[in-house]
Amino acid sequence: MRWGSRNLLILTSLVLIVAVGAAAAIESALAPHGGPGLPTVWWTAYALTVVALLMLHDALPRPRWCTESTLLIALSALSAVLVLLFASQGWLALTFVLTVTMAAFAWPARRVAVLIGVQTALTVVTGLLGGWSTVDLILGPVIFGISQFFGALVVFTARSEADARRELTAAHAELRSTVAMLAATTREAERLRIARDLHDIVGHHLTALSLELEVAGHLTRAEPGGEHIQRARMIAKELLRTIRDAVGRMRADGSPLEPALRELADGAPGLRVTVQLRDVPALDPEQTMAVLRCVQEAITNTLRHAGARTSRVEMDGSADVVRVIVTDDGAGTDRIVLGHGLTGMHERFKSLGGELQVQSARGSGFTVTGILPLVPSVGAVHDSGQPGRPA
C-alpha cells in the first residue's frame, strides 16, 4: 500500500478516536452519568485504546512479541469495554467501525467477518444495557453492522487495488531488469566472439605472414631491400603480440557489471536505488550473472513487499571475496520467510562456493548480503558512488 494511503488511514483513525474522546468529555461535563468510579474506568480503557492504536501505527514502540493481531484483538476488546461502560451513549458504537477498519488492513476477510458479527452482537447487548427504545434496538445494530461492512469493504477494495498495482510495478521492474541482464549477456557474448575472431582469424593470418616474412628475410638477406623485409617481419610480430594482449585483456576484464547494475537501478519505478562499487575486481560471467540476479531479486522483493522508498546496492572486494549488499528502508519483519526467488539465489551462490544472507527486523528494512570467493582476474571496477536515477 502506498504511503499516502497509509498516512490517510492513520489520520482518519486518530481523528475518529479523538472525536470519540472529545464527545465523551463533553457528555461527562454536561450530564454526568451514574455509577461510582465508572468514568475513571472508562477513561482508563480509552487511554489504553489510544496507546494500542498508536502502537498499531508504529507511532509508539512495541515489544517484538506484540504482533498486529495481538494489538487488534486488544483494540477490539478495549472498544467493547468503552461501548459497554457507556451503554446509554449509543453513538460510541462508532468505535466498532474503527476497529473493523483497522482489522481489514491486516486480517483476512473471514476473520474480519467474524469481528463484524461479534461487534454487531455487542451493539445489541449495549442497547439492552442502555435501555434503548425498540426502534433503536432494531435499527442501531443494523446501521452499525452495515457501517462496519462498508468500512471493511472499502479497505479490502483499497488493499486489492494496492496489491495489484504493487504486483504490476514489480513485474514491470523485473521485465526491465531482465532486459538489462539480457543486454549485458549479449554484450558479453559479442565481446568474447570478437576476442575469439581476433585470436583465431587475425592472429592466424598474422602468424602466417610473420613466418612468410621470416623466410623471405632469409632469402633476401644479402639483396637490396632485405632490411625492409626484416622490418616488416618485426612489425608483424609486434602486431601479433598486441592483438594477443588485447584478446587477453578482453577475456580477463569480465562482464560489464557496473552498467548492468545501473540499468537495474534505473528500472525500478517508484523506488530510488543508489549503486556504489568500491574496488570490485572483474568477475567471470557466471559470477556476474549471480550478482545481477541477486540484485534483481532483492529490488523486486522490495517493490512487492517492503513498502520502501529507497534502496541501496553496494559492492566491494577484498583479498579473497567479493561482497554485494542490498538494503532498503522498508517496514521490515521479525519473521523472515524465503520465497522461491531468494531460495534460488541462495542455491546459486552456494554452487559458486559463496553464501547468501537475509536479515531484517521490524522497522529496520531488509538487508540481502551475497558473498562470492574471488576468482583472480585482471582489471577492476574503480570507486563509484553515483546514484541511480529516481524512477
**Locus of grid cell 577475456:** 251
> Does residue 169 sit within a domain?
no
Domain co-membership, 216 together with 118: no
Residue 142, classed as helix, strand or coil, is helix
How far apart are the C-alpha atoms of 296 and 274, rounded to whole Å? 13
Mean of pLDDT values over 280-287: 75
359 and 245 belong to one structural domain: no
Residue 341: partners with Cβ closer than 8 Å, 6 or more residues away: 297, 300, 301
The reply to whether 219 and 260 lie within a common domain is no
Residue type, position 224, single letter: P
Average pLDDT, the chain: 75
Beta bridge partners of 310: 272
CA dihedral in degrees (19, 23, 29, 33; nearest 10)?
A: -130
Q: Which residues contact 85 (CB under 8 A, 6 or more apart)?
A: 38, 41, 42, 45
Report the pLDDT value the prediction gives residue 255, as an integer from 0 to 100.
52
Length of the chain: 391
In a domain, 229, yes or no: yes
Residue 59 is assigned to a structural domain of this protein: yes
Judge if 59 and 105 occupy the same domain.
yes
Question: Does any domain span residue 326?
Answer: yes
* Amino acid in the structure at residue 89: Q
**The pLDDT value given to residue 36:** 39
Q: How many domains does the chain have?
A: 3
CA distance 83 to 326: 48
CA atoms within 13 A on the CB side of 284: 8
**386, part of any domain:** no
The one-letter amino acid at 374: L
128 belongs to a structural domain: yes
Q: Give the separation between CA 83 and CA 88, rounded to whole angstroms.
A: 9
Does 163 reside within a domain?
A: no
State whether 206 and 218 are in the same domain: yes
The residue among 138, 154, 147, 81 whose CA lies nearest residue 116 is 147
Confidence at 9, pLDDT banded by 50, 70, 90: low
24-35 residue pLDDT tens: 677 666 655 444
Instruction: Indicate yes or no: pTM above 0.75.
Output: no
pLDDT at 228 (0 to 100): 72
Specify whether 197 is located in the same domain as 302.
Answer: no
Does residue 244 share a domain with residue 128? Answer: no
Render pLDDT for 34-78 as a digit per residue (tens, 0 to 9).
Answer: 443 446 766 777 777 777 777 777 777 777 777 788 888 888 888
Its domain, for residue 102, covers 3-132
Q: Does the pLDDT at position 389 exceed 70?
A: no
